[in-house]
Amino acid sequence: MATGVAAWLPFARAAAIGWMPVANCPMPIAPRDNTKRQDELIILNVSGRRFQTWRTTLDRYPDTLLGSSEKDFFYNEDTKEYFFDRDPDAFRSILNFYRTGKLHYPRHECISAYDEELTFFGIIPEIIGDCCYEEYKDRKRENLERLQDDQEETKDMKLPNMSFRETMWRAFENPHTSTMALVFYYVTGFFIAISVITNVVETVPCGSTFNQKDMPCGERYTVAFFCIDTACVMIFTVEYLLRLFAAPSRYRFMRSVMSIIDVVAILPYYIGLVMTNNEDVSGAFVTLRVFRVFRIFKFSRHSQGLRILGYTLKSCASELGFLLFSLTMAIIIFATVMFYAEKGSSSSKFTSIPASFWYTIVTMTTLGYGDMVPKTIAGKIFGSICSLSGVLVIALPVPVIVSNFSRIYHQNQRADKRRAQKKARMARIRIAKSGSANAFLQSKRNGLLSELLELTGKDEEDQKSVSLLESQHHHLLHCLEKTTAHEFVDEQMYEQNFLETALQTFPSHSPSTASHDSPAVTCCSRKERRNTPLPSAGLPPSHPSSAHQSALHELSAIRIHCGDPLSHSTSRSNLNVKPDDSSRINSKSGRITTAIISLPSPPALSSDGDGLHGPLQRRSHPPSIQTTASSAGINIVKVSAL
């Protein structure tokens, strides 16, 4: 039953009294309303904005969140209200749906955000009212197209195990994927151009020799042109055969438009080779030469715009058909009229109705060659009417075609623009993502540092407060480490260890081995570094400061002085570190300048395909870290640098 009219049910039931006298048998028992609850006001607190409505309003739609018992999960006992952590602006339209029975789509709202809200509250979008449904559907379609464009982008990526055939097909379809493909692309383009140009130049009169009249170049330099033609056709044949070989579905490939064009382009040559210069077939032979011009269509593989044009014409087939039909009608009408109007005049060119077709076409398209002109007055009148109506008939379907073309073209432009932006976007997202991975490693180091400080008997006042969520996440990662008996390390460490195990060098020689490393591990020779892994403490050895760091933070130097703040080398513990490149450490004062550590927001419970949701929290440490000049004479300076 339409719940909009639910409020009218009591009226309908009361009006049933009118049937009672007429009825012969007793009426059934009325259902009792056991939940005789006073209608109460419900408070819905959506992100701070309070909405109030009657309970019965919400009960109208029992298969949605607000109408069912699902909202009990959001009930706050203390404030006696239902709290939803959602967008209050979008909630307005949702609540209005309960009130009025009609769901409206606010135009300023983003389509996917709105969709999410609808899904959350359990409302299907199909019930959007007619006033807003068109808009909703259009926006949704646009969004879908945009997403699909993005997805198609990923299809370009090389799959790990592609057979030779697949690689070749991919090279043919996307020339920008490999250099060979690009070379091939340009070579074929060049030969298509050559072929078309030779076809054209063949017919140009080349100048006459003294005893022969002007003859076209084709006949003069027959051999040269034949050679060029042969070369082009050979290239085209090879290309076609290669494509046929590489195509995933040969049958479908052979039916596709491009391959038909290819075949039509090269076939005349072979037919010409086979046929002899016979008198009977020479006419057909000439016709075959005409087909050579189809080679120019091979350019559509090289040109996006041509393909768009072709697709537009195909998609506007109905408009074109209409154009053609209306033109034909008008031509016949006007040709008939003109013929009969001009019948009287002498030496009239309008000899028959088909002959008048030419005049009508020329006039309606406003060409006006002037080879046929009406002479009688009636003819002139009808001729002017003809040209005026011609403009109208042609002008009508053309804008439809143009708008179609424009839409497709812009869609294509948008795809290109998005592809260009995508790289930068992906890079930034990758940086943000790696931040979360590094957070754990950093917290490990911090944890071990504080352990170390405990060992040396100092209590570090400058404890970083880590959020509960983060500490729990790190605990989880720590458990994983313990399960597998391996530890997480960052890339540089991994490279070093990998090389160490591979080369099995003495630890003290590791700087030299590290210098053979990939450029990812930069090693400055002046910096002393001892690479001593401490599996027991689990502290990863210090890594060289890398100028290439893109990560947001990296704990780069832990320094323990003893006594003289200037000496790096005489360190008591085996944590031998080196200062940061930019020497942020002013060792004299034992202070550091600014160290900003950015911690990514914890990834818990809010995920989407992109990864990082929340804003990156930036915490800046106090510019000076207290140097505790203790009795032991140890200055512990903690340096965290970007």
Tell me which residues in 536-565 interact with another protein (CB under 8 A): 540
Is 487 a binding residue for another protein by CB under 8 A? The answer is: yes
| Most distant CA pair in the chain, distance | 129
Is 409 a binding residue for another protein by CB under 8 A? The answer is: yes
Size, binding site for another protein by CB under 8 A: 83
Give every CB contact of residue 417 below 8 A, 6+ residues apart in sequence: none
- Identify any residues that bridge with 618 across adjacent strands, giving them in sequence order: 598
Is 466 a binding residue for another protein by CB under 8 A? The answer is: no
Is 306 a binding residue for another protein by CB under 8 A? The answer is: yes
Going through 368-456 in order, the beta strands assigned E by DSSP cover none
Q: From CA 458, how far away is CA 418, in angstroms rounded?
A: 55
From the list 13, 141, 548, 572, which residue makes contact with another protein (rule: CB under 8 A)? 141
From the list 70, 451, 454, 462, which residue makes contact with another protein (rule: CB under 8 A)? 70
From the list 132, 182, 217, 642, which residue makes contact with another protein (rule: CB under 8 A)? 182
From the list 51, 54, 184, 185, which residue makes contact with another protein (rule: CB under 8 A)? 185
Is 173 a binding residue for another protein by CB under 8 A? The answer is: yes
Q: From CA 137, how far away is CA 129, in angstroms rounded?
A: 12
Is 433 a binding residue for another protein by CB under 8 A? The answer is: yes
Minimal distance in Å, beta carbon 261 to another protein?
Answer: 15
Is 436 a binding residue for another protein by CB under 8 A? The answer is: yes
Continuous H helices in 74-129: 88-100, 111-120
CB environment 631-641: b (16+ within 10 A), e (fewer): eeebbbbbbbb
Which long-range contacts link 92-96 to residues 24+ away (Cβ below 8 Å)?
A: 94/66, 94/118, 94/121, 94/123, 95/44, 95/51, 95/53
Give every CB contact of residue 295 below 8 A, 6+ residues apart in sequence: 192, 195, 196, 199, 232, 236, 265
| Footprint of another protein on 24-43 (CB under 8 A) | none
> CB-wise, 18 or 609, nearer to another protein?
609
Q: From CA 63, how far away is CA 121, in angstroms rounded?
A: 10
417: left (phi over 0), alpha (psi -120 to 50) or beta: alpha
Is 530 a binding residue for another protein by CB under 8 A? The answer is: no
| 222 three-class SS | helix
> CB-wise, 474 or 578, nearer to another protein?
474
Is 304 a binding residue for another protein by CB under 8 A? The answer is: yes
Residue 541 contacts residue 528 (beta carbons within 8 Å) = no
> CB-wise, 140 or 375, nearer to another protein?
140
Closest CA to 51 of 59, 60, 43: 43
Contact mark string toward another protein, 283..302, x via CB under 8 A = ------------------xx
Is 59 a binding residue for another protein by CB under 8 A? The answer is: no
Minimal distance in Å, beta carbon 572 to another protein?
Answer: 25
Q: In this chain, which stretch among 3-11, 337-345, 516-524, 603-611 interacts with another protein, using CB under 8 A?
A: 603-611
Closest CA to 444 of 606, 554, 299: 554
Is 617 a binding residue for another protein by CB under 8 A? The answer is: no
Give every CB contact of residue 628 below 8 A, 6+ residues apart in sequence: 458, 635, 636
| Footprint of another protein on 113-132 (CB under 8 A) | 116, 119-120, 122, 124-125
Q: In this chain, which stretch among 218-226, 276-284, 372-380, 473-481 interacts with another protein, using CB under 8 A?
A: 473-481
Minimal distance in Å, beta carbon 366 to another protein?
Answer: 23
Minimal distance in Å, beta carbon 606 to another protein?
Answer: 7
Q: From CA 440, how far away is CA 443, in angstroms rounded?
A: 5
Is 134 a binding residue for another protein by CB under 8 A? The answer is: no
Cα-based torsion angle of the residue sequence 269, 270, 272, 274 in order, rounded to the nearest 10 degrees: 170
From the list 96, 112, 606, 630, which residue makes contact with another protein (rule: CB under 8 A)? 606
> CB-wise, 340 or 409, nearer to another protein?
409
| Footprint of another protein on 314-343 (CB under 8 A) | 315
Both tokens assigned to 53: 């409505």
Minimal distance in Å, beta carbon 416 to another protein?
Answer: 7
From the list 346, 347, 484, 504, which residue makes contact with another protein (rule: CB under 8 A)? 484
Both tokens assigned to 255: 């039916």
Q: From CA 377, how far away is CA 397, in angstroms rounded?
A: 32
Is 468 a binding residue for another protein by CB under 8 A? The answer is: no
From the list 3, 13, 55, 75, which residue makes contact with another protein (rule: CB under 8 A)? 75
> CB-wise, 95 or 595, nearer to another protein?
95
Minimal distance in Å, beta carbon 120 to another protein?
Answer: 4
Is 194 a binding residue for another protein by CB under 8 A? The answer is: no
- 75-76 and 617-620 strand pairing: unpaired
Is 603 a binding residue for another protein by CB under 8 A? The answer is: yes
From the list 106, 216, 611, 633, which residue makes contact with another protein (rule: CB under 8 A)? 611
Q: From CA 394, how far away is CA 415, in angstroms rounded?
A: 33
Give every CB contact of residue 332 below 8 A, 6+ residues apart in sequence: 353, 357
